[in-house]
Structure 1
Amino acid sequence: MCKHILNAQVAIRAPCCKQWFDCAECHVESAQNSETPHQIKQTMEMVFACKKCKKVFRKDMETFEEADEFCPHCDNHFVLEAVEPKARLEVEGEDVRKDSRMLKDDRVKAKEQMSIWDDEGEAARLG
């Protein structure tokens, strides 16, 4: 699962190290943390693995057309506008539509907290 592109439809095989990555930024991070740091090698023949049907295919980028934006095995459209994660501020907890324990209803009276030193209660009623 790629943390840079949330809607990645294919994995890319890097021609330099022959490893699979979800995006070029994932390759950069992996290469920086490896024993042999390197840049991704530019090539005109890309190797893709479709995430829908899990099959591998090649595309020549010199003759890339609009019809080449689909997986040849399952017709999955893999050339999409990238959806990148955005920073946002939220309240910790689940969605209130699913879990409403965080909400307080002012119409419901809260139970009074009693300590062991209070005279009121069942011991005072025994008489």
Structure 2
Amino acid sequence: MCKHILNAQVSIRAPCCKQWYDCSECHAEAQTHALAKTMEMAFMCKKCRKAFRKDMSAYEESDEFCPNCDNHYVIEAKTPQAVLTVEADDFRKDARLVQDERVPLGARNKITDEELAELLED
């Protein structure tokens, strides 16, 4: 099962190491060498579990289906969505999330006359 492409319909045989992978990223994680490129690719349908070859130099729209079971294997890939959550309330109400704790509380939002003069000169 591929963690990069969730709806992979075929496995691809890597021409360099002769092993089956669901995507090139799976190959990169498992092997130390780069994936070799070839014009004749070997696929294994995940529906009927039968292998077949396709010549990529003469690839047509009709080649998007498994020749054994007619499973449409060239589809839009579903990839896992990155989930980013912040476990805090609205920072406008509680600004501790965005405050720099390294600066002492009394020194925040204060500027000296010298610093103001430097800023105005620039």
The aligned residue for residue 47 of structure 1 is: 42
Task: Say whether 1:68 aligns with 2:60.
Answer: no
Letter matched to residue 4 of structure 2 = H
The aligned residue for residue 83 of structure 1 is: 78
The aligned residue for residue 12 of structure 1 is: 12
* Cα separation, 2, equivalents of 1:16 and 1:51: 22
TM-score with structure 2 length normalisation?
Answer: 0.67
Gaps of 5+ in 2: 86-122
Structure 1 runs (4+) greater than 4 angstroms displaced: none
* Cα separation, 2, equivalents of 1:68 and 1:89: 39
The aligned residue for residue 26 of structure 2 is: 26
* Cα separation, 1, equivalents of 2:24 and 2:33: 12
SS at 2:52 equivalent: strand
* Cα separation, 2, equivalents of 1:59 and 1:18: 16
Taking only the aligned residue pairs, the percentage that are identical comes to: 68
SS at 1:28 equivalent: helix
Count of aligned residue pairs for this structure pair: 85
Q: Which structure has more helix as a fraction of its residues?
A: 2
TM-score with structure 1 length normalisation?
Answer: 0.65
